Structure 1
Amino acid sequence: MADRRCVFIDFDGTFADQGVAPLEHAEAVARARANGHLILLSTGRPASIVAPEVAALFDGVISSAGGHVRVGDEVLHDERFPAALGRRAAEVLERHDVAFALEAPEALWCSSSASRRIRARMADPAPHAAAGIGNGPRDIVDAVRVPEDLGACSFAKISLWESRVPVEQLAAEIGPEIGALPNSITSEDTSSGELHLLTVDKADGLRRTVEHLGLDLAATVAIGDGLNDLGMLRAAGTGISIAGARDEVRDAALFEVPGPSEHGIVTAFERLGLL
């Protein structure tokens, strides 16, 4: 067996395709854990839209792109927008008539209008073709909640779509504490994106986990395909990118593997000697 590794795996586009992970990926994680390695999910999704059966595959889940860190049953970190900043963000987005969801570990907080738009956007008229773990768009739709006062909600990150204003401009209007990224779930157009606290990164989740477990950073592996994976790939002892990722992501990796449809996690684990 290889030296014990601690592996951090992105979800959308890396471990899963359209919210469904191939059974081969689940089996590879189970085998690697049985061999003594620690395997964690590290996703931009909030915990509220990670299916329980997906979370159960791992030793822990880093969600909200590093804002929420859980190892086993212990929550190590739970960072949210400060209340005043969160209310300002909601006000700016509503003023521009942007469809958005405030992402929290407990729910996706939305206006009634955004709730309807999410349900229309995530409509899945046919069952997913491949068997796997996770429920596709239903995991997102089932987490939607409509509160009485959206501005009072506690949340870690914002997803938005159908914006007539560039995501970077929205971030600038809200405040200098905010960063903007293309949306990791729905990245097909420039009107979609994510707004996040600049102080939060997947790399922070990796470091908190390693410190908690008493491991060396050299023993860590990060696998991802998106811009929100960059910090994690650079912080890890070994970075692995997914074929088709942007140049910045590929440059941060030691090597690349195929996407979920070609069972790239299995390939990565085989190359690392984890299986």
Structure 2
Amino acid sequence: MMNRSIIFFDIDGTLLNHDKKLPLSTKESIFKLKELGHEVAIATGRAPFMFEDLRKELDINTYVSYNGQYVVLKGEELYRNPLNISSLEKLTEAALHNNHPVVFMDHEDMRANVPEHTYITESIATLKIGRFPTHDPHYYKGRELFQTLLFCPEREEKQYEQEFHDFDFVRWHPVSVDVLPKGGSKAQGIKKIVERLGIHPERQYAFGDGLNDMEMLSTVQNSVAMGNAEEKVKSVAKYETKSVEENGIFHGLQMVGLL
């Protein structure tokens, strides 16, 4: 198909509304894109096990997870970018001293370094994934981790940013930040997929709404910010659609001429 495009969708606030529901118009739009011969992919900060049901519902087997650190193309692992374990161990020690718990995450599971903490419960509950991390303070040993969650109030991550230069810190909740390999992003993960598929920049699209979407939206040529996105997210996108609650995906796909 000469005019085949690839469209990357964020999940929370983009595919899913604020109740973590998939609007019918969005589901219908995704299947219409595939009927037209386009490639449809997910680009999310979530772990693969956090959106398995969504992938099955939409029949999507290409995705950028962990904000670009673990990438799968048509069901096959394409790219891995793990955290520096030595630096992570030092960060964990500092966080424990500050009563800031962490959750270690690989492509299969997540484990917390403390038995329980209100910050963990409060933030993970908002994802509505039906599971919480179990306790294993040594889960980082002997395995590749692609993201860690650091739980601390807003602006308290600054102390870690100043000390741990192997990592990027991206806030996704008032009491939680993603800890990623330095320079890792959805944009980097997307690059791996489009290079392998040979899809030109003018045929690449991305939809998102969050702070962790900013590099993706500023890099992908045809980028669309959701109407519910913050203004600084909208400022880096080429287009702005309606909010997720107002059939924003359907409207945006029509606006850019894909539907």
Normalised by the length of structure 1, the TM-score is 0.83
Aligned-partner Cα distance in 2 for 1:234–1:120: 31
Following the alignment from structure 1 to structure 2, what is the Cα–Cα distance between the partners of residues 120 and 168?
A: 21
Q: Who is 2:215 aligned against?
A: 231
One-letter code of the match for 1:169? Q
Identify the residue that residue 36 of structure 1 maps to in structure 2. 37
Do residues 250 (structure 1) and 238 (structure 2) align? no
The 8 Å contact of residues 55 and 61 in structure 1, kept in 2 or not, is answered as no
**For the Cα contact (< 8 Å) 2:10–2:207, is it kept in 1?**
yes
User: Matches of 1:273 and 1:164 in 2, distance apart?
Assistant: 39
8 Å CA contact retained: 2:227, 2:244: no
1:27-70 superposed Cα distances (whole Å, 9 cap, x missing partner): 211111111011111001111211x2212322411000000111
> Could you say which residue in structure 2 is the equivalent of 1:62?
64
Question: What are the equivalent positions in structure 2 for 1:1-275 lying under 5 Å apart?
Answer: 3-18=3-18, 19-50=20-51, 52-56=52-56, 57=58, 58-114=60-116, 118-119=120-121, 122=124, 136-137=127-128, 139=129, 141-142=130-131, 144-147=133-136, 149-152=138-141, 154-163=144-153, 166-173=156-163, 175-183=164-172, 186=173, 189=174, 191-275=175-259
What CA RMSD, in Å, does the superposition of the two structures yield over aligned residues? 2.4
Identity of aligned residues (%): 22
Q: Residue 106 of structure 1: SS of its match in structure 2? A: coil
Find the counterpart in structure 2 of residue 131 from structure 1: none
Greater relative contact order structure (CA < 8 Å, 6+ sep)? 1
Q: CA deviation at 1:2?
A: 9.8
What stretches of structure 1 of length at least 5 have no aligned partner? 125-135
Question: In 1, are the aligned partners of 2:9 and 2:43 still within 8 Å (CA)?
Answer: yes
What is the alpha-carbon distance in structure 2 between the residues aligned to residue 123 and residue 225 of structure 1?
A: 20
TM-score (ref. length: structure 2): 0.88
Partner Cα separation in structure 1 for residue 73 and residue 193 of structure 2: 7
| 8 Å CA contact 2:6, 2:40 repeated in 1 | yes
Instruction: Give SS of 1:159's match.
Output: strand
Secondary structure in 1 aligned to 2:102? Answer: strand
Residues 164 and 235 of structure 1: CA distance in aligned 2, closer, same or farther (over 3 Å): closer
